[in-house]
Amino acid sequence: MTGNITTSRSTDFARRIGLLAIVTLLALPAFGSAQQSEPDKAFQISKGRVTYRVYCINCHGAKAKGDGNLAELLTVKVTDLTQLKQENNGKFSADDVAKAIDGREQIRGHGMKEMPVWGDVFKTSVAEPSADEAGGEERARSKIRELVAYLETIQE
């Protein structure tokens, strides 16, 4: 009789340990993705800086003040990207900035879209061709996230 109780307890214990292991393994990705590691964040910012220099510098300028080489040729004042946080009551809204860069969605309260639709440009980038629609869309979102991460670091 004692053998059955011991076997039952050890089986029950093994089940609990197994269940705990499964729950832990399932939960790990959620915790890992919630907080980006410092090297990953630094790499994302670095890529965003490069994207800025390729696509944004001509209008927004080397220091993102809205004074790029093409700024004086435009009919609208180019945004000073270092003041996005300041102009939004001290809060940098990554979501709004991403939508403004993407340009494929109208942002309420922001009037006409004066900037190029970068979401489409990034999606169909010749430098990084993608064989399918989903790949192009992910590339566009990734470039926009990188650019937003960089812009957040230059806020005054």
pTM over 0.85: no
Number of domains in the chain: 2
Whether residue 109 contacts residue 155, with contact meaning beta carbons closer than 8 Å, is answered with no
Residues 10 and 45 in one domain: no
**What range defines the domain where residue 29 resides?**
1-35
Statement to judge: residues 20 and 52 lie in one domain: no
Reported residue count of the chain is 156
Task: Tell me which of 91-95, 103-107, 123-127 is least confident.
Answer: 123-127
CA distance 33 to 120: 27
Same domain, 98 and 22: no
- Does residue 95 or residue 5 have the better pLDDT? 95
How many percent of the chain have pLDDT more than 70?
Answer: 67
Do 60 and 13 reside in the same domain of the chain? no
Tell me the one-letter amino acid at 63: K
Write out the two tokens for 90. Answer: 């001290």
pLDDT score, position 26: 54
Closest CA to 115 of 62, 44, 58: 58
